[in-house]
Amino acid sequence: MPGTIYELEAVFFDQDGVLVDSEGAWDAARRAIVTENGGRWKPEATRAMMGMSAPEWSRYVRDELGVALEPEEISGRVVERLLAGYERSLPLLPGAVEAVKRVAARWPIGLASSANREVIDAVLAASGLAGVFGATVSGEEVGHGKPAPDIYLEAARRLGVDPAHSAAVEDSTNGLRAAAAAGMLVVALPNREFPPTNAALGLAAVVLGSLEELTPEALEAGNVT
């Protein structure tokens, strides 16, 4: 998808799969809760929940996977298990901290993550990036999770920038679709474990092979028709 020539005002990052190698950890935590509480995992469940907000995926676990708990309880148990693992070892992706700081030296940056607020705060604190982002938004704080554009529109509002003059770095099908729906320049860092569809990748102006490739020059090059 070709870019548009304009002055970028800000760059937004997803968290899971972009900064943290966590999709597998989320998947394992959800599977454990399903198994421990009499539910039944479905083959399509992992991809179905990628990008969903906590209220959305916890309802999915209850309604589609047969866990007889209220969504708030499901979410709390999954997050507790996930954070216990993060306390032992935070799975930052190689080059994540450096990439964030490199981009932040050129533009204001924000975080738009489907993760629960406590997970976002824990990751940013442990990585030393808590003071680098000018705005952070959790999927819990907007009406609809990805692929709806809500989270990116809210992040842009909090940072005080025009979404159409912003870029978003995403790894998944639903994340790429959300960034595109918000009118942002879409930067794809394809998730290797759960790769996005070709159709979603087609929305990206820039496709990166690693975080080492995420530079101001790469973003500016993508912002050209």
The domains located in the chain, with CATH, are: 10-22+92-222 (3.40.50.1000), 23-88 (1.10.150)
Predicted confidence (pLDDT) at residue 225 exceeds the cutoff of 80: no
Overall pTM > 0.85: yes
Least confident of 4-18, 96-110, 198-212: 4-18
Predicted confidence (pLDDT) at residue 80 exceeds the cutoff of 60: yes
pLDDT band at 4 (very low <50, low <70, confident <90, very high): low
- Sorted by sequence, the CB contacts under 8 Å of residue 175 that are 6+ apart come out as 14, 17, 50, 51, 146, 147, 168, 196
Predicted confidence (pLDDT) at residue 77 exceeds the cutoff of 90: yes
Predicted confidence (pLDDT) at residue 5 exceeds the cutoff of 80: no
pLDDT mean over 96-121: 97
Q: What's residue 194's pLDDT?
A: 86
Predicted confidence (pLDDT) at residue 178 exceeds the cutoff of 60: yes
Q: What would the 3-class secondary structure string for the chain be?
A: CCCCCCCCCEEEECCECCCECCHHHHHHHHHHHHHHCCCCCCCCHHHHHCCCCHHHHHHHHHHHHCCCCCHHHHHHHHHHHHHHHHHHCCCECCCHHHHHHHHHCCCCEEEEECCCHHHHHHHHHHHCCCCCCCEEEEHHHCCCCCCCCHHHHHHHHHHCCCHHHEEEEECCHHHHHHHHHCCCEEEECCCCCCCCCHHHHCCCCEECCCHHHCCHHHHHHHCCC
- Sorted by sequence, the CB contacts under 8 Å of residue 11 that are 6+ apart come out as 103, 107, 108, 109, 110, 166, 167, 168, 169, 219
Q: What's residue 224's pLDDT?
A: 64
Instruction: Please tell me the distance from the alpha carbon of residue 122 to that of residue 124, in angstroms, as a whole number.
Output: 6
Q: What would the 3-class secondary structure string for 20-50 be?
A: ECCHHHHHHHHHHHHHHCCCCCCCCHHHHHC
Q: What's residue 2's pLDDT?
A: 46
* Model pLDDT for residues 42-75, shown as the tens digit of each residue: 999 998 898 788 999 999 999 999 999 999 999 9
Q: How far is CA 213 from CA 53, 94, 217, in A?
A: 29, 11, 9
pLDDT mean over 160-165: 97
pLDDT mean over 141-159: 96
Instruction: Please tell me the distance from the alpha carbon of residue 153 to that of residue 146, in angstroms, as a whole number.
Output: 11
Contact between 41 and 34 (Cβ < 8 Å): yes
Active site residues: 14, 16
